[in-house]
Amino acid sequence: EPSDEERLFDELIANEQRIEPRDWMPDAYRRTLVRQISQHAHSEIIGMQPEGNWITRAPSLKRKAILMAKVQDEAGHGLYLYSAAQTLGTTREEMMDQLLSGKAKYSSIFNYPTPTWADMGAIGWLVDGAAICNQVPLCRASYGPYGRAMVRICKEESFHQRQGFEILLTLMQGTDEQRAMAQDAVDRWYWPSLAMFGPPDDQSPNSAQSMQWKIKRFSNDELRQRFVSMLVPQAEILGVTLPDPELRYDEETGRYEMGEIDWDEFFEVLRGNGPCNAERIERRRTAHEEGAWVREAAAEYARKQRSTLVP
Ligand code: ACO
C-alpha cells in the first residue's frame, strides 16, 4: 500500500507537475537527481578546460573575447547546477570531494585534447550541439530547480553552437590547409560526441526509471538519432564530411543507419583512462587548492555580516 505522500508524488509526476525541494520524494528519486545534476555540473566545470586552453592563442581579439565569454558561461552553468543539486540536501563540498576523488563522473567528452584552433569550432558545433539535443528535453524535467536551470543553459548553449558552426564555416571558406584543419577536428570529435548521449538503450541501467520519473524524456539512442538528423544538413552547408561511411537515411524506418560507436573506448574513458582524464582532474585540484583563500574570505565576510546583524 503506497503512503499518502507516495500517492501525492506519483500524482504530481503523472499530471506533469513539478516536484519542489520541500516536497516528499522517494530516496531513489533524490539520489538519481543528485547523481545526474552533480555530474552535469562537474561536466560544465571540467568542460571549461579544453577551450580555456585556447584563450591565449585565439586568432584575433574578437575571437578571444567570444571564447572568454563562452568559457565564463560554462562556469555559470556549473554554478546553477550545483545550486540545483544543493536543494536536494547535498553540499557543494561533498560534490567537489566526489569529483576530485574520482568517485563522481563527468562527461566523457571533456577527456579529449584540443590541439588546433579548429577544435574550438568542432566543440561548439558538435559538443554543444549534442548538449542542446540532450538538454532541451531536460527543461521539462520533473524536478523544478533542475528544469528551470536548464532553460537559461539551453539558450546559452544554442548561442555556443552557432559560434562553433561559424568558426568552422570561416575555416571551410579559407585555404586548403584551413579546410583540412576543420575536417580533421570534425573527424576527431564526431564519434566522441555521439558517445556523449550514453550507452545504447539496452545497456543503459538508469534510463527506464529516469523516464518513468520524467527526469529523462527520451532514451539515449533516440536523442542520438535526433542529433545526427540535425548534423547531416548542417555538415552539407559547411562542406565537411561526417566520418561514418555507414551513415545513411533509411526511408522506410525514417531513421539514420550508423556505424558502431567504439564502446570499449567509451568505457575506458569512464574508467579514467581517456587521453586527458588525469590532466583534467589534476588541473581542477590545483585550481580548487589555489582558490581556498577566496572561499575562506567569503565565509569570513559572511560571518562578519551575521555578527553585525545580530548584536
Ligand atoms: N560520460 C560519462 N558518463 C556517462 C556518459 C558520458 N557521456 N553517458 C552515460 N554515462 C554514465 C552514466 O552517468 C551512468 O553512470 P552512473 O550510474 O554511475 O551515474 C552510466 O554511464 C550508465 O548510463 P545511463 O544509465 O544511460 O545513465 P543516465 O540515465 O544518467 O544517462 C546521460 C546519461 C544521458 C548523460 C544523463 O545523465 C543526462 O542527460 N545528464 C545530463 C546532461 C549532462 O550531464 N551533460 C553533460 C555533458 S554536456 C555539457 O556539459 C556541455
Portion of the chain with pLDDT greater than 90, in percent? 98
pLDDT for position 61? 97
Pick the closest to residue 121 from 46, 43, 183 (CA basis): 183
> Residue 311's pLDDT is what?
60
pLDDT band at 1 (very low <50, low <70, confident <90, very high): confident
Gap from CA of 17 to ligand 1 centroid (Å) = 24
For residues 185 and 195, give the distance between their C-alpha atoms in angstroms, rounded to a whole number. Answer: 16
- Average pLDDT for residues 196-205, to the nearest whole number? 97
CA of 269 to the centre of ligand 1 (A): 13
Task: Report residues whose beta carbon is within 6 angstroms of any ligand 1 atom.
Answer: 35-36, 39-40, 43-44, 47, 105, 107-108, 131, 134, 195-199, 204-207, 210, 216, 220, 270
* Rounded Cα gap, residues 237 and 101, in angstroms: 44
What per-residue confidence (pLDDT) applies to 2? Answer: 87
- Closest C-alpha among 240, 261, 228, 262 to residue 129: 228
Residues 100, 36: Cα–Cα separation, whole Å: 17
Residue 150: what pLDDT?
97
Ligand 1 atom closest to the CA of 131, numbered from 1: 48
Tell me the mean pLDDT in the region 213-229. 97
46 touches 284 (CB < 8 A) = yes
Q: Nearest Cα to 234, choosing from 162, 299, 133?
A: 162
Mean pLDDT, the chain, rounded, equals: 97
Cell numbers standing for residue 161: 553552437
Q: How many angstroms is it from 43 CA to the middle of ligand 1?
A: 10
The amino acid at residue 21 is: P
pLDDT above 80: residue 199: yes
ipTM above 0.85, yes or no: yes
What is the chain's Cα-based Rg? 21
Distance (angstroms) between ligand 1 centre and the Cα of 148 equals: 19
- Return d(Cα 20, Cα 73) in angstroms, integer: 26
Between the CA of 303 and the centroid of ligand 1 the distance, in Å, is 38
Provide, for the chain, the percentages of residues in helix, strand and coil under a 3-state DSSP scheme, each rounded to the nearest 5.
Answer: 70, 5, 25
- What pTM was estimated for this model as a whole? 0.96
**Could you report the per-residue pLDDT of 241-270, keeping only the tens digit for each?**
999 999 999 999 999 999 999 999 999 999
Task: Tell me how far apart the alpha carbons of residues 268 and 136 are, in angstroms, rounded to a whole number.
Answer: 28
> Which tens digits make up the pLDDT trace of 110-160?
999 999 999 999 999 999 999 999 999 999 999 999 999 999 999 999 999
| SS3 of residue 177 by DSSP | helix
SS3 248: strand
The C-alpha atoms of residue 38 and residue 88 are separated, in whole angstroms, by 11
| 72-87 pLDDT tens trace | 999 999 999 999 999 9
